[in-house]
Amino acid sequence: MSASGSDIRIPEAELSFEFMRSSGPGGQNVNKVETAVRLLFDVGQSSSITDEVRARLMRLAGRKMGKDGILRIQARRFRTQEANRRDALERLSELIKRASTAPKVRRKTRPPRSVNERRLEYKRRASRIKEKRRRPDMEGTL
């Protein structure tokens, strides 16, 4: 099984799983069975992703990314180990998919001249209205 995002395939060998006891509901198994899953993926050493995707993935991962370059995804939503394992793989897949799409390049635009002229005309009009409100003896002083 491999985690995939768009056309990127991560071999199972690059992924490792840790299992631990999960908090929350679990009935009689709550203190006996290790159902929570921690997925570990060494982003820094992976040969399956390009440098651009690696950089975006490291930025997107946030707190899930350690200083050592290892992405850690914890899954403890479900009561079974297998369901949590699938959940962790799906979340990794989603992260990789988001990282593999390059962000749109923002093109610098200028507002139309008419918009600027309209703004300046409004300011002139407001200034004239305020000027008419002044007392006659106060003209010329600020």
pLDDT at 140 over 70: no
pLDDT of residue 1: 41
pLDDT of residue 82: 85
What's the chain's average pLDDT?
80
Query: Which stretches of the chain are assigned E, i.e. beta strand?
Result: 3-5, 8-10, 15-20, 36-42, 70-75
Mean pLDDT of 51-71: 80
